[in-house]
Amino acid sequence: MSFLRTATGALRLSRSALPPLASGSTPANLLIASRRYLSSEARKKIDEAVQNNPLVIFMKGTPEMPMCGFSRAVCQIMEVQGVKAEFLKTFNCLEDQELREGIKEYSSWPTIPQVYVKGEFVGGCDIMLSMHQSGELEKMLDEAGVLHPIQASPETVQENKA
């Protein structure tokens, strides 16, 4: 398939790139059929992971060895936010082609990494960075109960007792 860029910069599928239509088929049906990467088994596994873990990241690589800059940035944001390692569940999309393509269909989001908090899709790297900068991510992660508690320094404890 080939794509054309419109005057506004948007990508559009070139009609000449479509294969000849079978009897009763429409271009929309062909596009839908060609985009189905997610088997019912894979969908079930993703559902279970997202629903059974408070924080899930579908990424390229692992937190210890991210394989793209965006995945690395999301992991660094989670570290800076103080996410407890035991609450962070990650999936390396490079190890499973069905997951790599299927997660995009599952979320209707075209890129990896993808972050889910308490069963809800939150976004990718750009959204995580924006939420981190605004303070919105810290609030969301705190409400999800995945952050280390803030430890008061001994000096602060003494000041508060006085």
Residues 17-54 have pLDDT tens digits of: 445 555 555 555 544 444 566 788 889 999 999 999 99
Confidence at residue 158, expressed as pLDDT on a 0 to 100 scale = 55
pLDDT value at residue 39: 86
- Per the domain annotation, does 108 fall within a domain? yes
Q: Which of 102, 95, 123 is nearest to 44 (CA)?
A: 102
Encode pLDDT of 104-133 as tens digits.
Answer: 999 999 999 999 999 999 999 999 999 999
Q: Is the pLDDT of residue 3 over 90?
A: no
Q: Given a cut of 50, is residue 156 above it in pLDDT?
A: no
Q: How many structural domains comprise the chain?
A: 1
Is 158 a domain residue?
no
Cα-flanking dihedrals φ and ψ of residue 150, to 5°? -70, 125
Phi and psi (nearest 5°) for 88? -95, 115
Question: Residue 30's pLDDT is what?
Answer: 46
Q: Is residue 57 part of a domain?
A: yes
Identify whether 39 is part of a domain. Answer: no
- Give the CATH number of the domain where residue 115 resides: 3.40.30.10
| Residue 40: inside a domain | no
Residue 141 per-residue DSSP state? H
